[in-house]
Amino acid sequence: FQPHTYTRTIALLPEFAKALENADVVILAEIYAAREINTTGVSAEDISKLMDQTKVKSFYLPTFEEIEDYLRSHLEEGDLCITMGAGNVTEIGPKLVQ
Protein backbone atom coordinates (compact mmCIF):
# COMPACT_ATOMS: atom_id res chain seq x y z
CA PHE A 1 0.00 0.00 0.00
CA GLN A 2 1.28 3.43 -0.91
CA PRO A 3 -0.36 6.25 1.04
CA HIS A 4 -1.08 9.46 -0.88
CA THR A 5 0.17 12.79 0.50
CA TYR A 6 1.61 13.57 3.90
CA THR A 7 -1.39 15.58 5.08
CA ARG A 8 -3.83 12.81 4.25
CA THR A 9 -1.63 10.18 5.87
CA ILE A 10 -1.25 12.04 9.14
CA ALA A 11 -4.97 12.85 9.21
CA LEU A 12 -5.99 9.23 8.58
CA LEU A 13 -3.28 7.17 10.32
CA PRO A 14 -5.63 5.10 12.50
CA GLU A 15 -8.14 4.73 9.68
CA PHE A 16 -5.47 3.40 7.30
CA ALA A 17 -4.33 0.85 9.88
CA LYS A 18 -7.95 -0.22 10.49
CA ALA A 19 -8.74 -0.47 6.77
CA LEU A 20 -5.76 -2.76 6.18
CA GLU A 21 -6.21 -5.06 9.17
CA ASN A 22 -8.04 -7.81 7.26
CA ALA A 23 -5.07 -8.55 5.03
CA ASP A 24 -2.70 -11.41 5.78
CA VAL A 25 0.36 -9.27 5.13
CA VAL A 26 0.67 -5.55 4.41
CA ILE A 27 3.72 -3.98 2.83
CA LEU A 28 3.86 -0.22 3.12
CA ALA A 29 5.74 1.82 0.54
CA GLU A 30 6.80 5.34 1.31
CA ILE A 31 4.15 8.04 0.94
CA TYR A 32 3.51 9.36 -2.55
CA ALA A 33 4.04 13.06 -1.90
CA ALA A 34 2.41 14.49 -5.04
CA ARG A 35 3.28 18.18 -4.68
CA GLU A 36 3.54 18.23 -0.90
CA ILE A 37 6.57 18.73 1.30
CA ASN A 38 6.76 16.65 4.47
CA THR A 39 6.64 19.23 7.25
CA THR A 40 5.40 16.83 9.96
CA GLY A 41 7.86 13.95 9.70
CA VAL A 42 5.06 11.46 9.01
CA SER A 43 6.03 8.28 7.20
CA ALA A 44 4.28 5.14 6.03
CA GLU A 45 6.24 3.48 8.82
CA ASP A 46 3.81 5.18 11.23
CA ILE A 47 1.00 3.08 9.76
CA SER A 48 3.11 -0.05 10.16
CA LYS A 49 3.75 0.79 13.82
CA LEU A 50 0.00 1.09 14.41
CA MET A 51 -0.53 -2.23 12.67
CA ASP A 52 1.95 -3.86 15.06
CA GLN A 53 -0.92 -3.70 17.57
CA THR A 54 -3.03 -6.00 15.35
CA LYS A 55 -2.69 -9.60 14.18
CA VAL A 56 -1.54 -8.47 10.71
CA LYS A 57 2.08 -8.75 9.67
CA SER A 58 3.12 -5.41 8.25
CA PHE A 59 6.41 -4.30 6.81
CA TYR A 60 7.62 -0.83 5.98
CA LEU A 61 9.71 -1.15 2.83
CA PRO A 62 10.14 2.40 1.56
CA THR A 63 11.54 1.68 -1.91
CA PHE A 64 9.99 -0.26 -4.75
CA GLU A 65 13.24 -2.22 -5.11
CA GLU A 66 12.93 -3.45 -1.51
CA ILE A 67 9.28 -4.36 -2.08
CA GLU A 68 10.04 -6.25 -5.29
CA ASP A 69 12.87 -8.17 -3.60
CA TYR A 70 10.60 -9.09 -0.67
CA LEU A 71 7.77 -10.22 -2.94
CA ARG A 72 10.04 -12.27 -5.21
CA SER A 73 11.33 -14.19 -2.21
CA HIS A 74 7.99 -14.63 -0.39
CA LEU A 75 5.19 -14.99 -2.94
CA GLU A 76 4.13 -18.53 -3.71
CA GLU A 77 1.94 -20.01 -6.42
CA GLY A 78 -1.69 -19.24 -5.63
CA ASP A 79 -0.95 -16.09 -3.61
CA LEU A 80 -2.84 -12.92 -4.39
CA CYS A 81 -0.79 -9.73 -4.39
CA ILE A 82 -2.56 -6.38 -4.67
CA THR A 83 -0.68 -3.14 -5.24
CA MET A 84 -2.82 -0.26 -4.09
CA GLY A 85 -2.35 3.47 -3.78
CA ALA A 86 -2.81 6.74 -5.58
CA GLY A 87 0.81 7.04 -6.65
CA ASN A 88 3.08 4.95 -8.83
CA VAL A 89 2.91 1.76 -6.75
CA THR A 90 1.20 -0.01 -9.66
CA GLU A 91 4.60 -0.15 -11.38
CA ILE A 92 5.54 -3.07 -9.12
CA GLY A 93 3.10 -5.66 -10.50
CA PRO A 94 4.31 -5.68 -14.11
CA LYS A 95 7.92 -6.00 -12.94
CA LEU A 96 7.05 -9.10 -10.91
CA VAL A 97 5.51 -10.95 -13.85
CA GLN A 98 8.40 -10.32 -16.22
pLDDT at 61 (0 to 100): 98
CATH of 6-97 given 3.20.10.10, 3.50.50.60, 3.90.190.20, 3.40.50.300: 3.90.190.20
Per-residue pLDDT tens for 68-91? 999 999 999 999 999 999 889 999
Beta-carbon contacts of 68 under 8 Å, excluding residues fewer than 6 positions away, are 92, 95, 96
Beta-carbon contacts of 38 under 8 Å, excluding residues fewer than 6 positions away, are 6, 31
Instruction: Give Cα 96 distance to the centre of its chain.
Output: 16
Number of other CB atoms surrounding residue 47 within 10 Å: 25
Per-residue pLDDT tens for 13-48? 999 999 999 999 999 999 999 999 999 999 999 999
Q: Where are the domains of the chain?
A: 6-97
Average pLDDT, the chain: 95
